[in-house]
Structures are given as C-alpha cells and as structure tokens.
Amino acid sequence: MPKIVDHDERRAHITEAVTNIIIRDGFDRVTMREIAAEAGYAHGAIARYFPDKQSLLTAAFLHVFLGAHDRILARTAGSRGLAALGLMSRELLPFEEMGSEISRVVLSFWDRAAQNAELWQLHHEYIVQRRELIRQFLTEAHEDGELAGNLDIETAVNQVAAQNAGWQMMAVLVPESATTENLQASIDAMLAGLRAPVAESR
C-alpha cells in the first residue's frame, strides 16, 4: 500500500528547517541542499513545495509572524487595555535567546521586503493587522480611563509599533543591549508614559 503523504505537515516541516537555518547561519546560507539536509528530505521534495528562495523566506517569516500572533492572542485572552498591551509587548520583544535569534528571520525579511514589491505588500498587510491589535488595546485603555487625557491614540500606536520593531533590530545588531532587564524596563517605561497619573484617573 503506497504511503500517504501529509503535504501540509511536510510543508510545515520544511518551513521549520528553513527557519532554523536562517537563525543559525543567516538567509544567505539557505540553499536547497542545506534545507534537504536539515529537513531530512530529498532535494526534489523541497522544490516541489517551494520553487525559489523568495517563497522560502516568505514561509519562514509567516511561520515566525503568525506563531507570534497566535501566542499574543493566547497570552492576552481575558485581558484588555494596558495590561493586554504589556502582555503583547512581552511576547513580541526578543526576550531570552530564542527571541533574539528569531529576530534574524524578521530582519532578513525586512531587508528583502524593502527591495521587493510583493514581499513589501505581504509585510504591510500583516503589520497593519498587528497595528490594529495595538489600537484595540489602546482604545480599551482609553475607555477604561487608563490613558493620559492628552494622549493621541494614533501617536501611541506608532510609538508602540516602533519600539517593538526597534528591539528586533537591536537584538541582532546590538545584542548586548537586549537583556531581559533592559527589555522589561523598556516595556515598563512605555506603559508608564501612556498611563494617566493617579489623580487624573479618578
């Protein structure tokens, strides 16, 4: 009886292999030969699912991005406002070794998305979704009286998004700065800047 191939499982396994190679060696080392060795598949099996390096990088980026999105939704379930925003940032910032290593995948994708319209559009689509989640938590914080009275929500969305993106870059280019203490202090300072003073929130 012929073996039944689970194509979704095989695609996911190849994507995981690509992600591991980028984390370990960088995107320039991603070749069909390296992926086949990492995944334990024949060379031809890789090309059947991913015809070129752009499709491989896209799959790795989505693996990281959508995985983080799922973890954010799970982590913030039952929370709202600034509490949820803090939990979201805790998930997005490159805490611990694996978080900083995953930042290499994100930066590899950014580099190519800046020069490729198709990748740029894909990145833009998902970043807009993430910004909408930030906006949701800030709107909840405003409704709950948590935000400073003069705070503009759109400015705050830009601030939070830029801080999260900035730490991805810092984790790769200035890794000694991305300590657990510094990352948590950054989140705490951001939330403190958004929060209404005690007297104002009464």
Q: What is the CATH number of the domain that holds 105?
A: 1.10.357.10
CA–CA distances in Å: residue 133 to residues 100, 130, 190: 23, 5, 17
Identify whether 23 is part of a domain: yes
Average pLDDT over residues 180-199: 91
**What is the extent of the structural domain holding 81?**
61-194
- 30-39, 70-79, 83-92, 157-166: least confidently modelled range: 30-39
Q: Which residues contact 167 (CB under 8 A, 6 or more apart)?
A: 93, 94, 178, 183, 186
85 and 142 together in one domain:
yes
Whether 136 has a pLDDT exceeding 60, the answer reads yes
Whether residues 91 and 122 fall in one domain: yes
**Total structural domains within the chain:** 2
Establish if 92 belongs to a structural domain: yes
Query: Is 180 part of any domain?
Result: yes
Cα–Cα nearest to 68, from 34, 49, 95: 95
Same domain, residue pair 136 and 69: yes
| 185 in the same domain as 114 | yes
Q: Are residues 93 and 14 in the same domain?
A: no
Predicted model pTM: 0.84
Query: Once rounded to an integer, what is the mean pLDDT over residues 11-36?
Result: 85
Using the predicted structure, report yes or no on whether residue 202 has a pLDDT greater than 60. Answer: no
Specify the pLDDT at position 149: 86
Q: Is residue 56 part of a domain?
A: no
182 in the same domain as 89: yes
Same domain, 79 and 140: yes
Q: Note the pLDDT tens digit of each residue in 74-100.
A: 999 999 999 999 999 999 999 876 677
The answer on 108 and 34 residing in a single domain is: no
The answer on 66 and 28 residing in a single domain is: no
Residue 121 has pLDDT above 90, yes or no: yes
- For residues 103 and 47, membership in a common domain is answered with no
Residue 145: is its pLDDT beyond 80? yes
Q: Which long-range contacts (CB under 8 A, 24 or more apart) does 45-53 make?
A: 45/10, 45/14, 46/14, 49/7, 49/10, 49/11, 49/14, 50/14, 50/18, 53/27
pLDDT of amino acid 96: 78
Determine the average pLDDT of the residues in 7-17: 86
* pLDDT higher than 60, residue 201: no
Q: How far is CA 176 from the centre of its chain?
A: 20
Q: The CATH number of the domain where 30 resides is what?
A: 1.10.10.60
